[in-house]
Amino acid sequence: MALSLKEMVKHEDLLTGGHRACAGCTGANILRQIMLTAGPNTVMGGATGCMEVVTTIYPYTAWKNSFIHSAFENVAATISGAETAYRSLQKHGELPQAAADAERMNFIAFGGDGGTYDIGIQALSGAMERGHRMVYVCYDNGAYMNTGIQRSSATPFGAHTSTAPAGSVKQGKEQDRKDLTEILVAHNIPYVAQTTPFHWKDLATKVEKALSCGGPAFLNILMPCTVGWGFPMERGMQIAKEAVETNFWPLFEVEDGVYKINKKPKERKPIADWMKEQARFRHVFKPGNESMLEHAQQWVDQQWDLLLKRETMTNM
Amino acid sequence: MSLKRAQELPDAGIITEAGNAVDFKTGDWRTYVPQFHEENCIHCMFCWIYCPDSAIDVDTSGDKPQMKGILLDHCKGCGICATECPPAAKGKAALVMVREEK
Measured distance CA(A52)–CA(A41) in Å, rounded: 19
HEC per residue, chain B: CCCCCHHHCCCCCCCCCCCHHHHCCCHHHCCEEEEECHHHCCCCCHHHHHCCCCCEEEECCCCCCEEEEECCCCCCCCCHHHHHCHHHHCCCCCEEEEECCC
The reply to whether residue B24 touches residue A236, judged by beta carbons under 8 angstroms, is no
Question: Percentage of chain B with pLDDT > 70?
Answer: 98
Does residue B32 sit within a domain? yes
ω into A156 cis (within 30 of 0): no
Which domains are assigned to chain A?
5-314 (3.40.50.970)
- List B33's β-bridge partners, or say none: B98
Does residue B15 sit within a domain? no
3-class state of residue A220 by DSSP: strand
The distance of B37 to chain A (nearest Cα, Å) reads 19
The reply to whether residue A61 touches residue B65, judged by beta carbons under 8 angstroms, is no
Buried b (16+ CB within 10 A) or exposed e, B37-53: eeebbebbbbbbbbbbb
Domain of B40, in residue numbers: 25-99
- List A259's β-bridge partners, or say none: A254
Measured distance CA(A20)–CA(A30) in Å, rounded: 15
Q: How confident is the model at residue B69 (pLDDT cuts 50, 70, 90)?
A: very high
Q: What local confidence, expressed as pLDDT, does residue B13 receive?
A: 82
Is the CB of residue A41 less than 8 Å away from at least one CB of chain B? no
Is the CB of residue A15 less than 8 Å away from at least one CB of chain B? yes
List C-alpha distances in Å: A150 to A22, A37, A277: 18, 32, 20
Does residue B16 sit within a domain? no
The reply to whether residue A17 touches residue B53, judged by beta carbons under 8 angstroms, is yes
Q: What local confidence, expressed as pLDDT, does residue A101 receive?
A: 75
Question: 161-220 in A: which are within 8 Å (CB) of B?
Answer: 197-198, 200
Structurally, chain B folds into a number of domains equal to: 1
Per DSSP bridges, beta strands A217-222 and A135-140 are: parallel
Q: Which amino acid is at A9?
A: V
The CATH number of the domain where B80 resides is what?
3.30.70.20
The reply to whether residue A20 touches residue B26, judged by beta carbons under 8 angstroms, is yes
Does residue B41 sit within a domain? yes
Buried b (16+ CB within 10 A) or exposed e, B61-79: eeeebbbebbbbbbbbbbb
What is the chain A residue with the closest CA to B67?
A9
Does residue B9 sit within a domain? no
- pTM of the full predicted structure? 0.95
Angle at A43 between CA A108 and CA A145, to 5 degrees: 55
Buried b (16+ CB within 10 A) or exposed e, A14-30: bbbbbbbbbbbbbbbbb
Contact A218, A128 (CB under 8 A): yes
Residues in chain A predicted with pLDDT less than 50, given as ranges, are none
Does residue B71 sit within a domain? yes
Average pLDDT, chain B: 92
Q: Which of B20, B52, B83 shows the shortest C-beta gap to A238?
A: B83
The reply to whether residue A18 touches residue B24, judged by beta carbons under 8 angstroms, is yes
Is the CB of residue A241 less than 8 Å away from at least one CB of chain B? no
What is the chain B residue with the closest CA to A201?
B49
Does residue B8 sit within a domain? no
Residues of B in contact with A202 (CB under 8 A): none
pLDDT at residue B65 above 80? yes
Taking only the tens place, the pLDDT of each residue in A144-173 is 999 999 999 999 999 999 999 999 999 999
Q: CB count, 10 Å around CB of A257?
A: 12
Taking only the tens place, the pLDDT of each residue in B6-48 is 888 888 789 989 999 999 999 999 999 999 999 999 999 999 9
List % helix, strand, coil for chain A (3-state, nearest 5): 40, 15, 45
Taking only the tens place, the pLDDT of each residue in A265-294 is 998 899 999 999 999 999 999 999 999 999
DSSP-derived secondary structure letter, A106: E
Q: CB count, 10 Å around CB of A78?
A: 21
> Length of chain B in residues, anyone?
102
Nearest CA among A164, A84, A72, A79 for reference residue A113: A72
Does residue B87 sit within a domain? yes
Is the CB of residue B26 less than 8 Å away from at least one CB of chain A? yes
Q: Which of B54, B65, B79 shows the shortest C-beta gap to A234?
A: B79
More reliable by pLDDT, B4 or A213: A213
DSSP-derived secondary structure letter, A43: E
The reply to whether residue B20 touches residue A21, judged by beta carbons under 8 angstroms, is no
3-class state of residue A128 by DSSP: helix
